[in-house]
């Protein structure tokens, strides 16, 4: 299927991705990983939850860790432009027959909770508590020195349908992978904020969260994180990389948190602000698609992901196979 044309005037205005809530089975272990190893800053914590932000972020949090019996993803959060957009979003999802509710969230103003057509829990908001800037508080920098949350990547059982729906919301395709035999899209990268992506979809059993990603200053910070993880008991949590993606041109590393939630460390992609920017097409058979240097990803990268709370998964009917490391 062809990639849809961008919706330049969507029904409501999404600025960017904002935050993710992970349910974790050991809050102390997860706190140690996200704060002490990755270097996110704790902004609030109690016996049931830990809130964290990255170094350049002024909003109260980009990650919520919540103690639970099982490790799931409770929601993906997006910031809207202004308060009328919240009402427009409610009307949009209601018209689609999707569930909507207004919820109370600590450190945030009105929050609209809904789900996409496949059950992914989404929330939209305008106001989040502002905190003093810390990007020049260099004594606080540690771990991989994360600057901001960058994107989500989701497994989707029907990538073409996911692209069509999120295009309605104003997300624009920057790059995509096509299965040449079927003519269907195998993966796609879509943005709102002017980078390569705020959200991406990868063919597979879904919906599941493939990973959340954090932007860091330089590739050298990724090397520092590898040294840190290798000498502090986390060597088994290193899954893939370091390397440079063909798609996005970004330098990357994939690691797993104590519950197996996948985190990408990411830097040096490119600007995509122009609304008429043509998407870049890749073949699924191109070995440089995954990694510019040609190294394939491990099988776990294509098969393992985090479940969304309350969402049922199904297998993809697109059987196209990417290149997988032996």
**End residue of a domain, out of 82, 110, 131:** 131
Task: State residue 321's pLDDT score.
Answer: 83
200 and 269 co-located in one domain: yes
Please answer whether residues 51 and 63 qualify as being in contact, where contact means their C-beta atoms are separated by less than 8 angstroms: yes
Please answer whether residues 37 and 143 qualify as being in contact, where contact means their C-beta atoms are separated by less than 8 angstroms: yes
173 and 57 co-located in one domain: no
Does 159 reside within a domain?
Answer: yes
**End residue of a domain, out of 131, 165, 189:** 131
118 and 165 co-located in one domain: no
Range of the domain at 206: 142-307
Does 8 reside within a domain?
Answer: no
Task: State residue 1's pLDDT score.
Answer: 65
Kindly tell me the burial class for residue 231, based on how many C-beta atoms sit within 10 Å of its own C-beta (0-12, 13-18, 19 or more): exposed
190 and 297 co-located in one domain: yes
Does 19 reside within a domain?
Answer: yes
pLDDT by position in tens, the chain (length 326): 679 999 999 999 999 999 999 999 999 999 999 999 999 999 999 999 999 999 999 999 999 999 999 999 999 999 999 999 999 999 999 999 999 999 999 999 999 999 999 999 999 999 999 999 999 999 999 999 999 999 999 999 999 999 999 999 999 999 999 998 899 999 999 999 999 999 999 999 999 999 999 999 999 999 999 999 999 999 999 999 999 999 999 999 999 999 999 999 999 999 999 999 999 999 999 999 999 999 999 999 999 999 999 999 999 989 888 889 87
| CA–CA dist 261, 225 (Å, integer) | 17
86 and 174 co-located in one domain: no
Our count of domains for the chain comes to 2
**End residue of a domain, out of 131, 157, 173:** 131
Does 6 reside within a domain?
Answer: no
Does 5 reside within a domain?
Answer: no
18 and 120 co-located in one domain: yes
Does 322 reside within a domain?
Answer: no
Residue in the structure block whose two tokens are 């509710």:
101
Please answer whether residues 30 and 23 qualify as being in contact, where contact means their C-beta atoms are separated by less than 8 angstroms: no
Please answer whether residues 326 and 274 qualify as being in contact, where contact means their C-beta atoms are separated by less than 8 angstroms: no
Please write down the HEC assignment for all residues of 87-124.
HHHHHHHHHCCCCEEEECCCCECCEEEEECCCCCEEEE
For residue 98, the domain's CATH number is 3.10.180.10
Q: How far is CA 307 from the centre of its chain?
A: 14
Task: State residue 303's pLDDT score.
Answer: 95
The pTM of this model reads 0.97
In the chain the first and final C-alpha atoms are separated, in Å, by 31
54 and 168 co-located in one domain: no
270 and 293 co-located in one domain: yes
29 and 147 co-located in one domain: no
201 and 279 co-located in one domain: yes
104 and 151 co-located in one domain: no
40 and 68 co-located in one domain: yes
């Amino acid at each position: 299927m062809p990639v849809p044309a961008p919706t330049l005037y969507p029904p409501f205005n999404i600025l960017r991705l904002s935050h993710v809530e992970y349910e974790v089975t050991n809050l102390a272990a997860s706190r140690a990983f996200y704060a002490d190893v990755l270097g996110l800053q704790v902004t609030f914590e109690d016996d049931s939850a830990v809130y964290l932000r990255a170094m350049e972020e002024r909003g109260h949090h980009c990650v919520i860790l919540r103690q639970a019996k099982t490790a799931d993803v409770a929601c993906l959060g997006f910031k809207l432009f202004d308060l009328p957009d919240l009402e427009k979003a409610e009307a949009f999802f209601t018209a689609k027959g999707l569930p909507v509710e207004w919820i109370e969230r600590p450190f945030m103003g009105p929050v609209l909770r809904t789900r996409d057509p496949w059950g992914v829990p989404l929330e939209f908001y305008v106001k989040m508590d502002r905190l003093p800037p810390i990007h020049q508080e260099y004594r606080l920098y540690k771990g991989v020195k994360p600057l901001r949350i960058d994107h989500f990547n989701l497994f989707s059982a029907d990538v073409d349908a996911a692209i069509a729906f999120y295009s309605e919301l104003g997300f624009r395709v920057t790059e995509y992978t096509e299965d040449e035999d079927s003519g269907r899209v195998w993966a796609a990268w879509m943005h709102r904020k002017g980078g390569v992506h705020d959200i991406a979809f990868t063919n597979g059993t879904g919906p599941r969260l493939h990973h959340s990603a954090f932007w860091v200053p330089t590739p050298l910070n990724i090397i520092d994180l590898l040294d840190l993880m290798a000498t502090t008991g986390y060597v088994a949590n290193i899954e893939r990389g370091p390397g440079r993606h063909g798609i996005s041109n970004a330098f990357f590393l994939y690691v797993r948190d104590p519950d197996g939630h996948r985190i990408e460390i990411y830097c040096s992609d490119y600007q995509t602000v122009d609304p008429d920017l043509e998407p870049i097409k890749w073949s699924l058979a191109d070995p440089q698609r995954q990694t510019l240097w040609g190294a394939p990803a491990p099988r776990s990268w294509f098969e393992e992901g985090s479940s969304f709370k309350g969402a049922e998964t199904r297998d993809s009917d697109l059987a196209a196979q990417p290149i997988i490391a032996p």
